[in-house]
């Protein structure tokens, strides 16, 4: 496992000592520093931790849902970038799997940058929709499951830009290392998942959200050279044995949409050895615009409150940060 090069138990001593701290969306706005050059004037940098020395500056920006943009020096990595955010009826309890796939090209270009690597946790539209457009317009490599690979080919991504992983791979990119973790998708109240299925051969080009099945799920741990270890989830379930020993400094953990997974939060945080910073993701209404404070459906707002309370109980020394869209969190 790649080492972060920092004292993970002391990483926040200058900011938080002892009891957990919750940074709300409103508080985040009030405490954020001025925008950085990489933000194009639309995000705010907020320093929450420092590595030791010698690594490139790394800034993390939440793109909504489970999406992140990570700028490491002049290099950009994306995780599950979904910026088009169109209406499928999901948050009105009228989900239509026949909704046409749409790319908001200007929004994607504005916020995705020029990535060299795109990490895809699974192939549902709210994680994969914009990936083919990003890959074909920037030349970025796309890393994901065999389903992501086959769907990428169907969208016209050259095979040389597509990397298939299963979990267990440790990929060295110089300024950062990516460890791939075999994971699980969230379970709904019926103990099932939405749009299941895999693609092991080339399908027709997808046209609707129903054409993008889950296709197995991964998680990723990205370690910045001489900087923090950051764990990314795209869905709210996991294989306990697979995450034990990762010991991330920061964990982006997905909010559960049901109680079907037993003791999800305490088991996960225990397996991860209680990260210094815990950042809930995948709680926003991702069929609305990227406007702060993020829009949250009433049921999901309550679930987020329950999740935060569970994190406090399970990891009282961890700091909880509720992110805002496109805000830069700088760890160096």
Per the domain annotation, does 11 fall within a domain? Answer: no
Residue with tokens 């597509």: 162
User: What pLDDT is attached to residue 331?
Assistant: 66
Distances (CA, A) of 284 to 64, 202, 303: 7, 33, 11
Per the domain annotation, does 6 fall within a domain? Answer: no
Per the domain annotation, does 39 fall within a domain? Answer: yes
Per the domain annotation, does 57 fall within a domain? Answer: yes
Per the domain annotation, does 254 fall within a domain? Answer: yes
Helix, strand, coil share of the chain (percent; to 5): 25, 25, 55
Rounded CA gap, 194 and 209, in Å?
A: 11
User: What pLDDT is attached to residue 227?
Assistant: 87
Ordered per-residue pLDDT tens for the chain, 332 residues: 444 443 333 333 223 322 333 444 443 332 333 333 334 444 444 444 444 456 678 999 999 999 999 999 999 999 999 999 999 999 999 999 999 999 999 999 999 999 999 999 999 999 999 999 999 999 999 999 999 999 999 999 999 999 999 999 999 999 999 999 999 999 988 899 999 999 999 999 999 999 999 999 999 999 999 889 999 999 999 999 999 999 999 999 999 989 999 999 999 999 999 999 999 999 999 999 999 999 999 999 999 999 999 999 999 999 999 999 999 988 64
**Is the bond into 216 cis (omega within 30 degrees of 0)?**
no
Per the domain annotation, does 134 fall within a domain? Answer: yes
User: What pLDDT is attached to residue 131?
Assistant: 98
> By residue range, what is the domain housing residue 215?
22-330
Q: Indicate the number of domains in the chain.
A: 1
Q: Residue 182 belongs to a domain with what CATH number?
A: 3.60.15.10
CA 108 to chain centre: 16
Phi/psi at 278 (5° precision): -120, 125
User: What pLDDT is attached to residue 44?
Assistant: 43
Residue 217: its H or E element: strand 217-224
Per the domain annotation, does 317 fall within a domain? Answer: yes
Per the domain annotation, does 62 fall within a domain? Answer: yes
Task: Name, in order, each residue with C-beta under 8 angstroms of 213's C-beta and a sequence gap of 6 or more.
Answer: 123, 124, 147, 195, 196, 197, 198, 199
pTM: 0.87
* Residue environment code for 42-81, b if the CB has 16+ CB neighbours within 10 A, otherwise e: ebbbbebbbbeeebbbbbbbbbbbbbbbbbbbebbbbbbb
CA atoms within 13 A on the CB side of 165: 25
Task: Name, in order, each residue with C-beta under 8 angstroms of 135's C-beta and a sequence gap of 6 or more.
Answer: 118, 141, 142, 152, 157, 161
């Amino acid at each position: 496992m790649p080492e972060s090069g920092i004292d993970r138990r002391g990483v926040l001593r200058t900011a938080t000592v002892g009891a957990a701290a919750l940074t709300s969306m409103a508080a985040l706005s009030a405490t954020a520093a001025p925008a950085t050059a990489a933000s194009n004037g639309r995000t705010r940098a907020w320093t929450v931790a420092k590595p030791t020395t010698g690594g490139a500056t790394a800034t993390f920006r939440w793109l909504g849902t489970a999406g992140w943009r990570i700028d490491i020096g002049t290099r950009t990595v994306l995780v599950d970038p979904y910026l088009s955010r169109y209406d499928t009826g999901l948050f009105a309890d009228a989900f239509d799997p026949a909704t046409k796939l749409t790319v908001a090209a200007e929004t994607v270009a504005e916020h995705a940058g020029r990535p060299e690597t795109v990490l895809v946790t699974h192939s549902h539209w709210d994680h994969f929709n914009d990936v083919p457009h990003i890959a074909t317009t920037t030349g970025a490599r796309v890393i994901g499951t065999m389903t992501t690979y086959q769907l990428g080919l169907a969208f016209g991504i050259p095979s040389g830009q597509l990397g298939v992983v299963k979990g267990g791979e440790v990929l060295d990119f110089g300024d950062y290392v990516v460890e791939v973790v075999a994971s699980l998708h969230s379970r709904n109240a019926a103990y099932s998942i939405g749009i299941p299925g895999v693609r092991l051969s080339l399908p027709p080009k997808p046209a609707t959200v129903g054409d993008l099945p889950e296709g197995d799920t991964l998680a990723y741990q990205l370690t910045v050279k001489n900087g923090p270890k950051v764990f990314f989830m795209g869905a709210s379930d996991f294989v306990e044995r697979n995450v034990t020993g990762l010991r991330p400094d920061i964990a982006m953990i997905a909010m559960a949409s049901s109680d079907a997974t037993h003791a999800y939060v305490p088991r996960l945080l225990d397996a991860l050895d209680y990260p210094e910073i815990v950042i809930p993701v995948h709680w926003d209404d991702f069929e609305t615009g990227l406007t702060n404070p993020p829009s949250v459906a009433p049921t999901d707002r309550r679930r987020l409150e329950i999740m935060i309370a569970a994190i406090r109980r399970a990891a009282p020394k961890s700091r909880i940060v509720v992110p805002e869209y496109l805000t830069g969190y700088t760890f160096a």
